[in-house]
Chains A and B, each alone.
Chain A
């Protein structure tokens, strides 16, 4: 089964890979397989495994999408040094398909995690906190906003 790769007009090499076919499926498959691995290694209940996947997904995506700024190579001479990855994708345009997909994924994970743990505390508290932080960070109004100067430049 072949897919056509259309060249995007995004000049930022750090983010243009996200516009090619297959990214969304890979993302979902990675989440699913990490759930299977957590289940097999820790031998816990499925609900706890989903909670662990949800919380580690929160930590990883918060760090890479909303904390790390700039690009991992020096070719672009630092024009994106003040922007996090989330602010760089789609050249800063808000509410594109990619952004909507990435906002929906933590919410769906939250629903699965809370359903499979039967909405018990303390998992519910941590899950809710995680999804709240992630979704607020992805709002269009939060573009280039640094609350209390956290993660701002010098």
Chain B
């Protein structure tokens, strides 16, 4: 539940209304001046129909310099940002040769594996020399190396499942697996805030899609009961299969899914569960095994576990883990396995080494230290931000913390002001989030030290004062006033 101050909601709607009005006036002038200049389409249809690109041209373009900033080094706790300038109001952004060293609060490298690591990097370089950067073929032709086999075994062991299949891209793991698992006559019930890859995979499968309110097991039960009793649309025959799709950590909210209740409901109504642990694998739980370990759910209860290696493991690719029969079926039907080029061998070696570090198999305790540090960092940062008065979402222990901004003008203001003080943050607005709820999303990592976090807090607090986003009112002052009152008495 997000609590918005009522006046802020009104001003946000009004600001978006004003932006839309100005955008449409500009479009009107563009159409008028376009009438005079000749249009040389030569009978071809225009690329954009109607006003499909209205948002892109009139709203996104104004703040384009806050997104897609190029970086010139590895995304460690500090990185080099390339400065850009624009002479024509963000229509073209030109890179300069100037570089700015900024504190990185936006990368998903929760355990700090994005930077050169003393255990992983030498092994990755060895495998690069031995196996070359690409296998140049798909898994079934000539692209399965020893590393791929080892990686699948390690992933299955790490998660506590029987077997796993590894794909070259995380997005594809969702959008190519869902059409293979379920088809027309099946039902997919997905959380309303699921990632775009899940939505694309679900739409591509041809199954009927129903959405339940974010993280509300009671609404899931309601939707399940309604759909099971009605059956397929029009014929009312029973559904061929029902899959419920949830994510471990929702990347825009930073909150965990209520897995124990959802698993109980799915068992009761005999639906399958598909858990997407893109952000939570490796970063959550005492030994990094993800949201199942944190919430005390037996991995055998979750039918299909999906995840990506891009976040905590510092590599690329995705995996699906499940029973032996499921993985065998996927290996001869999934197009991403049969036709797509297999994962790059050095990337696979990076994941194997990262898993070994996390489990402590490299005979040091660095993995456990990293996990403890990312948890400490996230809890400290979140509680400090809340004390200063920001509205921060997300549960405790979650390394993703969105700070609510709401007004469309505050989005580029926050980003640019923080950049002036050498802090790089990621801001998210419509359409990735609902219209009212624009936010700045902070992702912490194990490589951030306490001093860096304190400095970031100071800078964010200053920017927050300048922008007026401290919606909840600072707490310590109240405590000080109470203490003063008690001392006087």
Determine if chain A interacts with chain B. yes
Contacts from A to B (Cβ < 8 Å): 1-9, 11, 13, 16-17, 20-23, 25-26, 29-30, 68-75, 78, 81
A17 pairs with B14, CB closer than 8 A: no
A69 pairs with B52, CB closer than 8 A: no
Max chain B Cβ within 10 angstroms of own Cβ: one of A7, A20, A26, A68? A7
A74 pairs with B434, CB closer than 8 A: no
Q: Which residues of A contact B435 (CB under 8 A)?
A: 13, 16-17, 20
B122 touches A (CB below 8 Å): no
A13 pairs with B211, CB closer than 8 A: no
B10 touches A (CB below 8 Å): yes
B211 pairs with A9, CB closer than 8 A: yes
B50 touches A (CB below 8 Å): yes
Known A5-B434, A26-B14; 9 more pairs at CB < 8 Å = A3-B4, A5-B2, A5-B4, A13-B434, A13-B435, A17-B430, A21-B4, A25-B10, A75-B196
A2 pairs with B6, CB closer than 8 A: yes
B192 touches A (CB below 8 Å): yes
A78 pairs with B52, CB closer than 8 A: yes
- The docked-state distance in angstroms from the alpha carbon of A9 to that of B430 is 16
24 contacts between A and B (CB under 8 A): A1-B5, A2-B4, A2-B6, A4-B3, A5-B1, A6-B1, A8-B192, A9-B211, A20-B435, A21-B9, A22-B4, A22-B9, A26-B9, A26-B13, A72-B51, A72-B52, A72-B53, A72-B55, A73-B52, A73-B55, A73-B56, A73-B431, A78-B49, A81-B49
Q: Shortest CB–CB separation between residue B142 and chain A, in angstroms?
A: 35
Which A-chain residue is minimally distant from B192 (CB atoms)? Answer: A9
- The docked-state distance in angstroms from the alpha carbon of A73 to that of B432 is 11
For chains A and B in complex, what number of residue pairs have CB atoms within 8 angstroms?
102
B437 pairs with A5, CB closer than 8 A: yes
A29 pairs with B9, CB closer than 8 A: no
Contacting A at CB under 8 A, from B38-70, are 48-56
A3 pairs with B6, CB closer than 8 A: yes
Which B-chain residue is minimally distant from A60 (CB atoms)? Answer: B21
Contacting A at CB under 8 A, from B424-479, are 430-431, 434-437
Contacts from B to A (Cβ < 8 Å): 1-7, 9-10, 13-14, 17, 48-56, 192-193, 196, 199, 211-214, 430-431, 434-437
B6 pairs with A11, CB closer than 8 A: no
A4 pairs with B1, CB closer than 8 A: yes
- The docked-state distance in angstroms from the alpha carbon of A5 to that of B6 is 10
Other-chain contact of A68, B51, B196, B437 (Cβ < 8 Å): B51
Q: Which residues of A contact B49 (CB under 8 A)?
A: 70, 78, 81
Which B-chain residue is minimally distant from A26 (CB atoms)? Answer: B13
Q: Shortest CB–CB separation between residue B467 and chain A, in angstroms?
A: 19
Q: Which residues of A contact B212 (CB under 8 A)?
A: 9
Q: Shortest CB–CB separation between residue B67 and chain A, in angstroms?
A: 15
A3 pairs with B9, CB closer than 8 A: yes
Other-chain contact of A23, B1, B13, B52 (Cβ < 8 Å): B13
Max chain B Cβ within 10 angstroms of own Cβ: one of A1, A3, A81? A3
Indicate whether A11 sits within 8 Å of B55 (C-beta atoms), given known contacts A17-B434, A23-B13, A30-B17: no
A21 pairs with B6, CB closer than 8 A: yes
Other-chain contact of A2, B5, B48, B56 (Cβ < 8 Å): B5
Q: Which residues of B contact A17 (CB under 8 A)?
A: 430, 434-436
B431 pairs with A13, CB closer than 8 A: yes
Q: Can you list the 5 inter-chain pairs with the closest CB atoms, starting with the nearest?
A: A22-B9, A17-B435, A72-B54, A26-B13, A2-B3
B17 pairs with A75, CB closer than 8 A: no
Q: Which residues of B contact A26 (CB under 8 A)?
A: 9-10, 13-14, 17
Q: Shortest CB–CB separation between residue A93 and chain B, in angstroms?
A: 14
Q: Which residues of A contact B13 (CB under 8 A)?
A: 22-23, 26
B6 pairs with A22, CB closer than 8 A: yes
Q: Which residues of A contact B51 (CB under 8 A)?
A: 68, 70, 72
Q: Which residues of B contact A21 (CB under 8 A)?
A: 4, 6, 9
Q: Which residues of B contact A70 (CB under 8 A)?
A: 49-52
Q: Shortest CB–CB separation between residue B90 and chain A, in angstroms?
A: 18
Q: Which residues of B contact A69 (CB under 8 A)?
A: 50
- The docked-state distance in angstroms from the alpha carbon of A30 to that of B365 is 61
Q: Shortest CB–CB separation between residue A22 and chain B, in angstroms?
A: 3
- The docked-state distance in angstroms from the alpha carbon of A5 to that of B430 is 16
Q: Which residues of B contact A13 (CB under 8 A)?
A: 430-431, 434-435
Q: Which residues of A contact B214 (CB under 8 A)?
A: 7
Which A-chain residue is minimally distant from B430 (CB atoms)? Answer: A13
- The docked-state distance in angstroms from the alpha carbon of A22 to that of B9 is 6
Q: Shortest CB–CB separation between residue B449 and chain A, in angstroms?
A: 35
Q: Which residues of B contact A20 (CB under 8 A)?
A: 9, 434-436
